[in-house]
Amino acid sequence: MPIWRAVAKMVDYPGFLVIGCGSIGRRHIANLQTLGVKKISAFDLQSDRRSEIEAEFNISTADSLEEAWSGRPEVACITAPTSMHVPLALEAASHGCHLLIEKPLGDGFDGVQQLLTAVDEQNLTTLVGCNIRFHHGPATIKKLLDNRAVGRIVSAHLDGGQYLPDWHPNEDYRQMYAANASMGGGVVLDGIHEIDYARWLFGEVAEVYSQGGKVSSLEIDTEDTVNILMKMTSGFSVSIHMDYIQRISSRTCKIIGEEGTIFWDISQGAVTLFTAGQKTWQSFPEPEGYNINQMYLDEMQHFLNCLAGQEKSTLDVYEAKRVLEIALAIKDSMLSGDPKKVPA
């Protein structure tokens, strides 16, 4: 075990290499610096991005991955397009790097088992970045459900959507990975947050049925809308809607139980709870001054704690593989029009 891992509070954090310097890569670099990490380097295929990163964060960048590995980083943050997640993670693992991989784990199963084997053999710490788990809303819902606040759950509905061209107004959305199937785009994999936190809240999924596809006039070759029905192993059903079309960004969750209802709307800044016992709504608001970056900071702090052996990863590569299996079953159902069993 490296010395930094055994006595993390007494020495500097390990060296990080951020691979991919788009918006999420930039955010991770900024948050790592906020949390006190000093040794950070970066790589991106685009030279202009590398120049911007050097100027903005005063860190070194590499002109090639070979040069990046020569710096002997101990942790790799994989923030490249989805189709490159597994290949880059495998390369990082071959250099002994612990891994923070942006969601989803990948866009298919090629290389996934090899990655799991490498992680297991080298005892690597891993986290797949489904940051919505760290948002005040779902985190509060998780606590309420763990305390059986609404009794036995009978139904739930999750919604997530935003107009794709609004994501990065200064970029041509048609060139973004989300718009391109070859890069692992599409609302099912891109919006895997809803699939992940549904499993986190409600347990394993037995079967999925979905309808969707490209139904808008967006110039993309991926699905922009999907409606999903998931049968949980516990017996009840969860419905999920995701799209690239809503002009007002939306993320909501409604859970109906035998003893009450939980509702969350990210735009309202609070989780609300109605129970049969109290016959009134209770509100669980976000802390004063809460902003969207807090969940990314909390996620990164969790990963640093995992590296130090102080916490267990909330979504390691093994768990992320299960989420990917559900997502790919949803895509299969959408194409075939038939329900699909999720591997046990």
pLDDT tens sequence for the chain (344 residues): 343 444 344 447 999 999 999 999 999 999 999 999 999 999 999 999 999 999 999 999 999 999 999 999 999 999 999 999 999 999 999 999 999 999 999 999 999 999 999 999 999 999 999 999 999 999 999 999 999 999 999 999 999 999 999 988 888 999 998 999 999 999 999 999 999 999 999 999 999 999 999 999 999 999 999 999 999 999 999 999 999 999 999 999 999 999 999 999 999 999 999 999 999 999 999 999 999 999 999 999 999 999 999 999 999 999 999 999 999 999 999 999 999 999 88
205 by Cβ neighbours in 10 Å (0-12 / 13-18 / 19+) ranks as buried
Spelled out in words, what is the top-level CATH class assigned to the domain 3-131? alpha beta
The side-by-side arrangement of strands in the sheet containing 153-161 is: 281-285, 270-275, 260-265, 250-257, 153-161, 237-243, 225-232, 205-213, 340-341
- Residue holding tokens 């967006």? 218
Integer Rg of the chain from CA = 20
pTM: 0.94
Numbered ranges of CATH 3.40.50.720 in the chain: 3-131
- Residue holding tokens 């788990």? 133
Query: Cβ contacts of residue 16 below 8 Å, gap of 6+?
Result: 32, 37, 39, 40, 41, 73, 74, 75, 76, 77
What is the C-alpha to C-alpha distance for residues 138 and 134, in angstroms, rounded to an integer?
A: 7
What is the C-alpha to C-alpha distance for residues 132 and 137, in angstroms, rounded to an integer?
A: 8
What is the C-alpha to C-alpha distance for residues 225 and 31, in angstroms, rounded to an integer?
A: 32
Give just the sign of the alpha carbon dihedral 109, 113, 119, 125.
Answer: positive
User: Would you say 196 and 205 are in contact if contact means Cβ atoms under 8 Å apart?
Assistant: no
What is the C-alpha to C-alpha distance for residues 154 and 221, in angstroms, rounded to an integer?
A: 36
Reference 227, options 207, 242, 216; nearest CA is 242
- Specify the pLDDT at position 169: 86
Sort strands 237-243 and 153-161 into parallel, antiparallel or unpaired.
Answer: parallel
User: Would you say 261 and 255 are in contact if contact means Cβ atoms under 8 Å apart?
Assistant: yes
Count of CA atoms in the C-beta half-sphere (13 A) of 237: 9
Sort strands 40-43 and 16-19 into parallel, antiparallel or unpaired.
Answer: parallel
186 by Cβ neighbours in 10 Å (0-12 / 13-18 / 19+) ranks as buried
CA 102 and chain centroid, separation? 6
Two tokens, residue 238 = 């969860």
Say which CATH topology domain 132-285+316-341 has: Dihydrodipicolinate Reductase; domain 2 (3.30.360)
Numbered ranges of CATH 3.30.360.10 in the chain: 132-285+316-341
Query: Which one-letter amino acid corresponds to residue 329?
Result: A
Q: What share of the chain is helix, strand, coil (3-state, %, to 5)?
A: 40, 25, 35
Two tokens, residue 253 = 């969750």
Query: E strands of 201-337, at which residues?
Result: 205-213, 225-232, 237-243, 250-257, 260-265, 270-275, 281-285
- Specify the pLDDT at position 106: 97
- Specify the pLDDT at position 1: 38
